[in-house]
Amino acid sequence: MKNIAYNYVLAAGVISWCAAQIIKTILHYIHTKTFSAERLLGAGGMPSSHSALVCSAAVAMFRQCGGGSPEFALMFIIAMVVMYDAMGVRRSAGLHAKEINKINRIFKIKGIETDDGSEDDGKKEKELKEYLGHTPLEVLGGVLLGILIAMIVPTKL
């Protein structure tokens, strides 16, 4: 029987993402006293699972290939883009969704109908997803978690 190949970079990244999602779910439960299964897979919140994943993979790549390798350089660049996007574009989109949801609630209270341009299919209007991006603190939480896990996960089995 052939041994299953062990990929340290992939293992560190996936474990970091899973840990961040579990921590996010627990923190959401502590804060709201309600369990939300969506938090296990959803974006946004503390810590950033995207940041944890890419930082863990970057640290793992550094440990495996060295700081001067093109593989580490590429992973570092990808990590920077992902974290910048999480704090910038995706966070802004979440803030916009929050404001649009407020406007729609006001319209509903005042009895003003909104038309989203689609044909009426009889479905209830859905609120826009507000958890999309991250605050700098949430990204930092993901970064620290990712670094920690990449240092704990063994480079070889």
Show me where the domains of the chain are located.
8-109+126-152
Q: What is the pTM of this model?
A: 0.74
pLDDT in tens, 31-70: 989 888 888 887 778 899 999 999 999 999 999 999 999 9
Phi, psi of 144 (to 5 degrees): -65, -40
Q: Are 71 and 65 in contact (CB under 8 A)?
A: yes
Please, are residues 20 and 44 in contact by the beta-carbon 8 Å criterion? no
